[in-house]
Amino acid sequence: MQTVIAGRETTATERIAARRHLLDLDDWRPDELLAVMTRAEAMLRVCQRADKLETLRGQVLVNLFYENSTRTRVSFELAGRRLGADITNVNASASSVAKGESLIDTAKTLQALGTGIFVIRSGQSGAADLLARHVSGTVINAGDGWHAHPSQALLDLFTLRRHLGNLAGRRVVIVGDILHSRVARSNVWSLTAMGAQVVLCGPPTLLPAAARALYAERPVPGIELTRCVTVESCLERALAGADAVMVLRLQRERQQAGLLPSLREYTARWGLTPERLRLARPGAPVLHPGPMNEGVEIDAAVAHGAASVIEEQVSNGVAVRMAVLDLLAGKEARA
C-alpha cells in the first residue's frame, strides 16, 4: 500500500481510491474505515432528501450474482442508481454460466460491454479476488462463500457507531454459525480494527479452531494494534456485559449435515431471547444481516423489540454502499 504521494502522507480517501477494489477488510486501516463512515453519513443525508448524485454517471455497474440475494442486490442497485450509474443485473445461475462459462470469460465479456464496476456475489470463496485479477475496473465483493462480505461489515460498523459511538474497548458478541459465515469473518476485521473486543459464540461444531491465536497473529495495519477475538460457546457467558449482539442466520442444512443435533437444541442454547438479552448492557443494540429465521436464532420479541436495529441496518446499507462506490470508483477517486 502506497502511503506517501509527492512527499506527503496520503489521506485515507486516497488510499481507498488506490485500492480500486473492495474484496475484504483484512488489511483496512482504522482511518480508512472511518473515511467510509464519514462518506456514508453524507450519503445517508442524500438518501433522506431522496436526492441523487452524478458521481458514477456514465459508468456501467453490473450485479453479477451467482447466488440469489434479493436484499444485497437491491441495495447495490439503489446505491448505484442514486450515484447515477447504469445498472445491469446478471443472474448468473440462470445464464450461460450455468452452461459452463467460466467466471473469467463472463467477466471479460461484461468488460467488453463497457462494465466498469463489478459487484459479485458467489458461493465460492475467493471469487471476488479472482475477478479482480482479470478485469481492469472496480470489483466489489458482495459476499464470497464463507470468506467475506465487506459491505455488510461496513454497514454493521456504521450502524453500531450510530448507537455506540467509538467502539474501542466495546464488547461485541457474534452468535451463530461462525464457521460458515462470511459476515462474521468480515466483521471480525473491521470491529477489531476499531478496537472492539469480538466474542465469537456458537455450537462447538460451528466455531473455527484457534480463532484467538489466528487473529492475534494479524495486527491491525497502520497502528499495529493486536486484534482481540475470543471464542465462547456458552451464550450466557458471552453476553455478560456485551455492548452489542450480532445474530447470524442459521442455515437449516447444518442440522441435516449432522453439525447440530436439532434446531430445537440450537434454539434452546443459542437462540437470542429477551431473557438472554438482559445479560447484555442495557440498550445494547441487536443486529442481524438477514434474512432471519425468527424463532430459531432470534426470538420474534427481540427481532422486533426496542433493541433491534435490524431495519436500520437495511436502510444504512444503501448509504454505506453508496459511500463505497463513490470512494472506489466515483469522480474523485478517478481524478
Interface characters, 24-53, with another protein (x: CB under 8 A): --x---------------------------
Q: CB 137: neighbour CB atoms within 10 A?
A: 23
Among 45, 52, 133, 237, binds another protein (CB under 8 A): 133
Could you say whether residue 214 binds another protein (CB under 8 A)? yes
Footprint of another protein on residues 59-118 (CB under 8 A)?
102-104
Residue 210 interacts with another protein (CB under 8 A): yes or no: yes
Question: Could you tell me the smallest distance in angstroms from the CB atom of residue 295 to another protein?
Answer: 28
Q: Counting every residue, how long is the chain?
A: 335
Asked if 122 touches another protein (CB under 8 A), the answer is yes
Integer CA distances (angstroms), 324 to 34, 104, 119, 126, 256, in order: 12, 24, 11, 20, 38
- Which position among 84, 145, 221, 222 is part of the footprint of another protein (CB under 8 A)? 145
The span of 41-49, 142-150, 230-238, 271-279 binding another protein (CB under 8 A) equals 142-150
Among residue numbers 159 through 198, which ones bind another protein (CB under 8 A)?
182, 185
Round to whole Å and give the CA distance between 194 and 207.
23
Distances (CA, A) of 157 to 3, 90, 118, 130: 24, 29, 23, 26
CA angle 222, 207, 142 (to 5 degrees): 55
Exposure string over 85-98, b if 16+ CB within 10 A, otherwise e: bbbbebebeeeebe
Q: Does 1 sit near another protein (CB under 8 A)?
A: no
- Applying CB under 8 A, the residues found at the interface with another protein are 26, 102-104, 122, 124-127, 129-130, 133, 144-148, 182, 185, 208-211, 213-214, 217
